Amino acid sequence: MLAAAMLFTAVAATAQPRRPRHLKLEQPEPHRKKGPDAWRTGPRHEVSLKAGAFPFTGNCGHLGLSIGAERLPLYPGIFATPDAVAAFKVRYSPRKTSGGITAAYYYRATYALWVGVAFTYTGLYGDIFDTRTGRKISSNDMTTISVAPALRLQWLNRPMVRCYSALAIGPAVDITAIDDGRQTYLGLSGTIVGVSVGRRLYGFGEIGAGMQGIFSAGMGYRF
């Protein structure tokens, strides 16, 4: 009996197929990183372009809120028009504005904090007329340019929806066409609430104040 059992065991062992040495076991797929550092594997750069209504400038406050036809004193020597000098009065036409146009770049430094820079342009366009003859004396255009370092705090982070607040402070210059004058000051833009919808390509809307406007909307791309 013992000899028969040993013979049966030997035959059963030789009957089992051997795994070829050149075959490797399939490795399980690595799990996606989770936890507080998961944001490091996602997009960390962002570019955007937006247009804002009622941007703030040093010369004209929030553009569009208090712009209209007006009569102002004309000081001799400013305009080379004899009729205008004799009248000492001019009329400013209602001015049109391009709003605040802002191009920005942001880098995600931490889970909630983005750092970047914002370039803002605003244009204000109008004319100045002689009140006696109605003739156009000069253009009343003004251009404002701002370059501001920016910080953005992202306080809601979902795959498709993100909410944030932001602050940008930097030098700004108002350039007036009538005398090629320049006024330099420190420009400020604040976003109270911003909402973006989308993953890499997204649209967004913001409510705030300052150089970039009170109400703004635009599109951006994360990479």
The pLDDT tens digits of the residues spanning 173-196 come to 999 887 778 889 999 999 999 999
Give the number of other CB atoms < 10 A from CB of residue 182.
Answer: 9
Position 207 scores a pLDDT of: 97
* Least trusted range by pLDDT, from 85-94, 128-137, 163-172: 85-94
Cβ neighbours of residue 2 under 8 Å, at least 6 residues apart? none
Question: Average pLDDT of 66-71?
Answer: 41
Three-class SS of residue 189? strand
Distance CA 106, CA 126 (A): 35
Cβ-based neighbour number of residue 137 at 10 Å: 21
Lowest-pLDDT choice from 7-11, 108-112, 178-182, 197-201? 7-11
Q: Is the pLDDT higher at 129 or at 205?
A: 205
Which parts of 58-134 are beta strand (E)?
A: 61-62, 70-73, 89-92, 96-108, 113-125, 127-130
Q: Provide, for the chain, the percentages of residues in helix, strand and coil under a 3-state DSSP scheme, each rounded to the nearest 5.
A: 10, 55, 35
Question: pLDDT grade, residue 36 (50/70/90)?
Answer: low
Instruction: Report percent pLDDT > 90 for the chain.
Output: 47
Q: Is the pTM of this model over 0.75?
A: no
User: pLDDT per residue over 40-57, tens digit each?
Assistant: 888 999 999 999 999 988
Closest to 126 measured CA to CA, from 60, 55, 74: 60
Q: Which two tokens stand for residue 136?
A: 């156009």
The two tokens of residue 158 are 């979902």
pLDDT of residue 191: 97
Contact 128, 94 (CB under 8 A): no
Identify the band that residue 111 occupies on the pLDDT scale cut at 50, 70 and 90. Answer: very high
pLDDT at 71 over 80: no
Per-residue burial over 26-51, b if 16 or more Cβ lie within 10 Å, else e, is eeeeeeeeeeeeebeeeeeebebebb
Per-residue confidence band for 73, with pLDDT thresholds at 50, 70 and 90:
very low
What mean pLDDT do residues 53-80 have? 60
Query: If you average pLDDT over residues 93-113, what whole number do you get?
Result: 91
